[in-house]
């Protein structure tokens, strides 16, 4: 997991708190902003799971608390739906300033309604996905119907939502009455994905139908059969994240990673702008090599010496298992732990000199199986005969040629 704690100001100058989720093995090819559900926060488990499923596909995700919720400043009672939309604009401005303008918006419940309004004001947004969103923001009245009369009469009421107390003012409801998602969707010309559960008892499935009919193509609908409104089950939220990532890839600009071609078994390709992040081709397999952040790398892949150590570990495990199979010995599992360092040579005469240091691979082996002491001793001897081990102990040569 790779994330940054971030903060930014909303239109009223209040500080909003967020988390920027980033891919662990690459730079993001696109950025998204996530709008959480009514009275929820950025730390709802479903929000985290969906964000992490998106980052796994290479999308950076900013999830944040709306004004007056979670760790963000402000009083929830003084907010309204329009304020949520303004918060989304502020979050997008933060990404534009510090990273890259968002191309994807994701909204859950009332947050789904908010991203539709925000998308109209954000030229960078190419696609948006709603999850369990109401077709009319006034649907919130359904959640507070027992206090509606008090709010209308006194202008404010204390409301219990999800076990938490919130103060809601009449101005919140008045603002909702001015909003019509159907009218906005008729003017919106951006790809939209509508996800909704037929079993959603908080926001009925009819809302998804009304959103879909109002939207223009390209539009898509995915049924979240069996899920509840808050996507309480982990598998539901992870599924949603994967679906959104797959769907969005059709509408977002994703640079193609050039595959390295070579007649050699291994090739490394590194552009000047990429620091130490190196594209690798090993046989028919592709991966990335890098250096740790402490020396200027991005830590997107193993270091060169870790790759060498990995070769020794893998070869040792394969050699032990191959020998055990041939002998019909009970070796159920082999683990080979290897680390690399430069260490002083044993019994050297000039240990105080740097030149006395030699490359040292420390290898530890764990064997699981029904083995006696004699068998274990023999397997450790066989480990010394692994081909990579022998190569490291043999005088080698590297022949370098320039490719024209």
Q: Distance between CA atoms of 248 and 191, rounded to whole angstroms? A: 9
Determine, yes or no, domain membership for 312.
Answer: yes
Place of tokens 């570990």: 313
SS3 call for 300: coil
Determine, yes or no, domain membership for 278.
Answer: no
Residues 45 and 115 in one domain: yes
Residues 235 and 306 in one domain: no
Domain boundary among 248, 263, 292: 248
Per the structure block, which two tokens stand in for 209? 């139908």
- Give residue-wise pLDDT tens across range 19-36: 999 987 778 999 999 999
Query: What pLDDT, on a 0 to 100 scale, did the predictor assign at position 271?
Result: 78
Per the structure block, which two tokens stand in for 14? 């209040």
- SS3 string of 62-125? EEECCCCCCCCCCCHHHCCHHHHHHHHHHHHHHHHHHCCCCCEEEEECHHHHHHHHHHCCCCCC
Mean pLDDT score of the chain: 89
pLDDT top residue among 283 and 51: 51
Residues 215 and 307 in one domain: no
Query: What pLDDT, on a 0 to 100 scale, did the predictor assign at position 395?
Result: 87
Query: What pLDDT, on a 0 to 100 scale, did the predictor assign at position 24?
Result: 75
CB half-sphere exposure, 315, CA atoms < 13 A: 17
Determine, yes or no, domain membership for 403.
Answer: no
Omega prior to 312 cis, within 30 of 0:
no
Query: What pLDDT, on a 0 to 100 scale, did the predictor assign at position 1?
Result: 52
Q: Distance between CA atoms of 243 and 271, rounded to whole angstroms? A: 33
Residues 195 and 112 in one domain: yes
**CB 234, CB 206: distance < 8 Å:** no
Residues 306 and 243 in one domain: no
Determine, yes or no, domain membership for 294.
Answer: no
Determine, yes or no, domain membership for 261.
Answer: no
- Give residue-wise pLDDT tens across range 170-204: 887 787 777 778 888 989 999 999 999 999 998 99
User: Which CATH number do you get for residue 66?
Assistant: 3.40.50.1820
At residue 287, does pLDDT exceed 90?
A: no
pLDDT, average across residues 70-92: 94
DSSP 272: G
- Give residue-wise pLDDT tens across range 316-363: 999 999 999 999 999 999 999 999 987 655 544 554 555 567 889 999
Residues 198 and 66 in one domain: yes
Residues 67 and 129 in one domain: yes
Determine, yes or no, domain membership for 287.
Answer: no
Residues 128 and 223 in one domain: yes
Residues 94 and 240 in one domain: yes
At residue 267, does pLDDT exceed 90?
A: no
Determine, yes or no, domain membership for 281.
Answer: no
Domain boundary among 208, 229, 248: 248
Cα torsion through 340, 341, 345, 346, rounded to 10:
-60
Residues 188 and 322 in one domain: no
Query: What pLDDT, on a 0 to 100 scale, did the predictor assign at position 165?
Result: 73
Residues 84 and 185 in one domain: yes
User: Which CATH number do you get for residue 371?
Assistant: 3.30.300.20
Residue 161 CB contacts under 8 Å (≥ 6 apart), including other chains: 38, 39, 143, 144
Total of domains in the chain = 2
Percent of the chain with pLDDT over 70: 93
Residue 59 confidence class, pLDDT cut points 50, 70, 90: very high
Q: What's the burial of 178, exposed, middle or buried (CB within 10 Å: 0-12/13-18/19+)?
A: exposed
Q: Distance between CA atoms of 97 and 95, rounded to whole angstroms? A: 5
Residue 37 CB contacts under 8 Å (≥ 6 apart), including other chains: 44, 108, 109, 110, 111, 132, 229, 230
Q: Distance between CA atoms of 135 and 110, rounded to whole angstroms? A: 9
* Closest alpha carbon to 202 in 133, 102, 265, 266: 133
Q: pTM of whole model > 0.85?
A: no
Q: Are strands 156-161 and 2-9 parallel, antiparallel or unpaired?
A: unpaired
Range of the domain at 379: 302-392
Per the structure block, which two tokens stand in for 24? 């662990």
Cross-strand partners of 325: none
- Give residue-wise pLDDT tens across range 153-164: 888 777 766 666
Residues 34 and 104 in one domain: yes
At residue 376, does pLDDT exceed 90?
A: yes
Determine, yes or no, domain membership for 128.
Answer: yes
């Amino acid at each position: 997991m790779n994330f940054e704690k971030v903060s930014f100001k909303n239109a009223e100058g209040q500080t909003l708190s967020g988390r920027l989720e980033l891919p662990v093995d690459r730079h993001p090819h696109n950025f998204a902003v996530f709008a959480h559900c009514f009275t929820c926060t950025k730390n709802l488990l479903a929000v985290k799971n969906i964000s992490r499923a998106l980052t796994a596909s290479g999308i950076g995700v900013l999830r944040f608390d709306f004004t007056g919720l979670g760790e963000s400043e402000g009083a929830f009672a003084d907010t309204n739906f329009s304020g949520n939309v303004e918060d989304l604009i502020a979050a997008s401005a933060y990404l534009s300033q510090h990273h890259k303008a968002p191309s994807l918006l994701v909204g859950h419940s009332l947050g789904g309604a908010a991203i539709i309004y925000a998308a109209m004001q954000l030229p960078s947004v190419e696609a948006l996905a709603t999850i369990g969103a109401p077709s009319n923001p006034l649907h919130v009245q359904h959640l507070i119907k027992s206090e509606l009369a008090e709010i209308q009469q006194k202008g404010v009421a204390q409301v219990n939502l999800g076990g938490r107390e919130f103060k809601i003012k009449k101005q919140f409801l008045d603002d909702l009455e001015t909003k019509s998602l159907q009218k906005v969707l008729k003017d919106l010309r951006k790809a939209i994905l509508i996800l909704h559960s037929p079993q959603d008892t908080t926001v009925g499935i009819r809302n998804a139908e009304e959103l879909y009919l109002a939207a223009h193509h390209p539009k898509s609908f995915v049924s979240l059969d069996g899920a509840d409104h808050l996507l309480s089950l982990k598998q539901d939220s992870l599924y949603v994240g994967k679906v959104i990532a797959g769907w969005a890839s059709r509408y977002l600009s994703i640079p193609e990673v050039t595959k390295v071609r070579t007649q050699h078994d291994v090739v490394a390709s590194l552009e000047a702008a990429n620091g130490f992040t190196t594209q690798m081709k090993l046989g028919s397999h592709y991966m990335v090599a890098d250096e740790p952040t402490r020396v200027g790398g991005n830590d997107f892949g193993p270091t060169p010496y870790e790759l060498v150590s990995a070769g020794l570990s893998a070869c040792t495990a394969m050699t032990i298992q191959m020998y055990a199979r041939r002998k019909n010995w009970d070796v159920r599992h082999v683990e080979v732990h290897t680390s690399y360092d430069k260490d002083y040579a044993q019994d050297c005469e000039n240990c105080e000199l740097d030149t006395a240091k030699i490359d040292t691979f420390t290898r530890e082996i764990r064997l699981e199986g029904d083995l006696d002491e004699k068998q274990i001793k023999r397997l450790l001897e066989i480990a010394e005969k692994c081909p990579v081990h022998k190569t490291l102990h043999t005088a080698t040569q590297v022949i370098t040629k320039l490719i024209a």
